[in-house]
Amino acid sequence: MAKYKIEIDRELCIGDGACCGEAPNTFEMDSDNIAKVTNPDGHTPEEILQAAQVCPVDAIKLFDAATGEQVWPK
């Protein structure tokens, strides 16, 4: 089971692709050049957090899967 529930704000995403560079087994760009989650277990929780942190507009939101608490961005 994934440690994080991952949400991508499609309004905020600018198509930078940094998340895909950090975690290509978890994120990819869709046909609109917006990031999407392809596999929430594609990388370690640490790698997924790093991918969220490199997003220049904080479009990736991570929530603790067990508690629902928002982990990123703080």
Residue 40, pLDDT above cutoff 90: yes
Per-residue pLDDT, averaged over 62-69, amounts to 97
In whole angstroms, what is the distance from residue 29 CA to residue 3 CA?
22
- Residue among 29, 39, 21 nearest 52 (CA): 21
Confidence of residue 69 (pLDDT cuts 50, 70, 90): very high
Query: Tell me, what's the pLDDT at 3?
Result: 95
Query: Tell me, what's the pLDDT at 4?
Result: 97
β-partners of residue 40 are none
Query: Tell me, what's the pLDDT at 1?
Result: 73
pLDDT tens, position by position, 1-38: 789 999 999 999 999 999 999 999 999 999 999 999 99
Query: Tell me, what's the pLDDT at 21?
Result: 97
Cα–Cα separations (whole angstroms), residue 37 to 27, 40: 5, 6
Instruction: Output DSSP code: residue 33.
Output: S
Complete domains list, the chain, with CATH: 4-72 (3.30.70.20)
